Amino acid sequence: MGDTAASAWSLAGAGLRAVRDMRAAHPDLRAAAGHMLPAVDDGLPTQSELIQLSGALFALARAHKAAAPDLHALLMEAQALVEAWRGNLALMGLPRAA
């Protein structure tokens, strides 16, 4: 299971780098990938870093709500995934019941 998780983590980083470097992609989608990449590359971001990342993705999404609804939806989905990640990290940090 550890090898599968490491492989998936590596693919996530590779995918984000590919989107960030894709010249044909929307500039804000590329920016979102750039925002997310440090969180993946650092391995285990802090709650504070994930809050900042979530805010950056939300701001990018809000800027496209009317003009580019598909991009808005994609960025909001990315923001929701970051929030889920943050929640999971918080749960992992709770002490276990005896």
Q: Mark out the alpha helices in 1-68 (DSSP H runs).
A: 2-21, 27-41, 47-63
| Domains in the chain: boundaries | 2-92
CA distance 58 to 44: 21
CA distance 53 to 82: 8
CA contacts within 13 A on the Cβ side of 73: 3
What's the whole-model pTM score? 0.73
In this structure, what token pair is assigned to residue 19? 């989107």
46-88 pLDDT per residue, tens:
888 889 989 999 999 999 999 999 999 989 998 998 899 888 8
Is residue 35 classed as helix, strand or coil in its secondary structure?
A: helix
